[in-house]
Amino acid sequence: MGFIDSIRGINKNQNEAVEGGDKVEKKDSLDMFCYQCSQTAKGTGCTIRGVCGKEPTVARLQDNLLFAIKGISAYLYHARELGYTDDEVDAFLARGFYSTLTNVNFDAGKFVELALEAGNMNIKTMQLLKKAHIDNYGEPVPTEVPVGAVKGPGIVATGHSLKALEELLKQTEGKGINVYTHSELLPAHGYPGLKKYKHLVGQLGGPWFDQRDTFSKYPVAIVGTSNCVLIPKDEYKERMYTVGVAELPGVQHIEDYDFTPAIEKALELGDLEEEVKETTLTTGFGASTILSLAPKIKELVEAGKIKQFILVGGCDSPLIQAKYYTEFVKNLPDTTVVLTLACGKYRFNAMDLGDIEGVPRLIDIGQCNDAIVAVDVAVALTELFGVGLNELPLTIVLSWMEQKAAAILWSLLALDLKGMYIGPILPGWANDDILNVLVENYDLTPIGDAEEDIKKIMGL
């Protein structure tokens, strides 16, 4: 039975149970939660099944679709910032949203089809955003980024918007202000059209969730260009600014990319002291750079010197379970090459994994939307080795935090990629029935013990 039929089977069983008068036990966790219409149970929320007849699996799959749509919207928003749009994606978003409206669609299978379609639309959107980035800033090239302060006034920018960073760099040029990246803006350093600004001097801090410490530590102006921004501490909120879609209580919002208030604030705050740079991060591996290594990669794979490519990427999370990703990469044999993207990389991107005869063992492709570069590279490898995607010596170890990762997960499922590992926890929107079907059809595996998982992946 196929994936979609399996899901339809779950839906049917649930209907049969209700129609047959079986008592539905309320579990510790909610089966579902929906309060979108006036029929909602007790005026507060349908939590066991919908008054309208909506089943928990349908409700969860509707939520899943909305999460994937949120993810696509984020990438589409950043493409639109640079003037790139796509009518087919726009039409899909309208259809996807509409399908979750009350009394429109009760078919669980259809919501899986829509999730897979969302995966394909997300691929299209990531391609659009990659094109927008490359057309505007050139293709990234490997770039070393020092982590730490440079003497002088500064502005640190966090989030994902290269457009906002570009405007900030233009407006600060020649003003004696150093601009730093934080979190998911690290890959900006690799783009020729951004690295040309000499006052883009480095990086402060690491992943999104260190921002309260990082922004408290450095008395600079702060610009939040998208997620992940956190409710600011009082001690720095008067020197923080948001732009674009990001907004925070008590924080001034920048309109039309006019960064004058942040620039004035940076100058008023004065100089940072020079820090010793103990860490240098390398980012900016574009598809062209990686594929220029294709003949060497083929030779090394055939000689058994590269045994496995492992994409370890996605969102970082403050959960204790996310330590897995550090342990995982640290313990990989030196016959592996790690591709990475998004802020999950901060779990290991300061490690020196060395190289295999000139092929770096740690390749930072960029932001989460650069998952499309990983897909392009994987497709190129299938051609290089004359095998299908699932026959490649490639394993994907995903970390997820928010809904862009949900969109990327469905993109990878839409490509029919099997055997992915997922963590740091399993998605809360998926009930056991949905998870079982994902495991059965895609061999999706929750992360476990890092060393045991490595043994499994390497066939040891």
- Contacting positions for ligand SF4 (CB under 6 A): 34-37, 39-40, 46, 50-52, 54, 102, 183-184, 208, 227-228, 315-316, 342-343, 368, 401-402, 404
CB nearer ligand SF4, residue 10 or residue 342? 342
Shortest distance in whole angstroms from residue 330 CB to ligand SF4: 21
**Smaller CB separation from ligand SF4, 3 or 75:** 75
* Cα–Cα separations (whole angstroms), residue 295 to 200, 292, 381: 34, 8, 10
Judged by beta carbon, residue 51 or residue 231, the one nearer ligand SF4 is: 51
**Least spacing, CB of residue 55 vs ligand SF4, in Å:** 9
The token duo for 349 is: 């991107």
Question: Which residue in the shown chain puts its C-beta closest to ligand SF4?
Answer: 50
Nearest distance, CB of residue 158 and ligand SF4, angstroms = 8
Q: In the structure encoding, which two tokens stand for residue 285, read together? A: 């591996």
Query: Between the CA of residue 444 and those of 79, 376, 422, what are the distances in Å?
Result: 30, 22, 7
Residue with Cβ nearer ligand SF4 (35 or 97): 35
Give whichever of 317 and 395 is closer to ligand SF4, judged by the CB atom: 317
| CB nearer to ligand SF4: pick between 91 and 101 | 101
Give 207's DSSP letter: S
289/139 Cα distance (integer angstroms):
9
Q: How deeply is 136 buried, as exposed, middle or buried, from its count of CB atoms within 10 A (0-12, 13-18, 19+)?
A: middle
Report the residue number, 240 or 342, with the smaller CB distance to ligand SF4: 342
For residue 437, the minimal CB distance to ligand SF4 (Å) is 22
Q: How far is the CB of 314 from ligand SF4 (least distance, A)?
A: 7
Closest to 362 (Cα-Cα) out of 318, 412, 325, 320: 325
The vertex-152 CA angle with 148 and 155, nearest 5°, equals 70
- Residue 307: name the closest of 142, 453, 454 by CA: 454
Minimum separation from the CB atom of position 304 to ligand SF4 (A) = 34
Please state the length of the chain: 460
Instruction: Match 């920048």 to its residue by tokens.
Output: 254
Q: How far is the CB of 131 from ligand SF4 (least distance, A)?
A: 20
Helix, strand, or coil (residue 377): helix
In whole angstroms, what is the distance from residue 37 CA to residue 100 CA? 12
Judge whether 441 and 6 are in contact, CB under 8 Å.
yes
Task: Select 201 or 315, whichever has its Cβ closest to ligand SF4.
Answer: 315
CB of 101 to ligand SF4, least distance (A): 8
**253 Cα distance to chain centroid:** 25
Among all chains, which residue has been given the structure tokens 């929906």? 34
Amino acid at 339: L
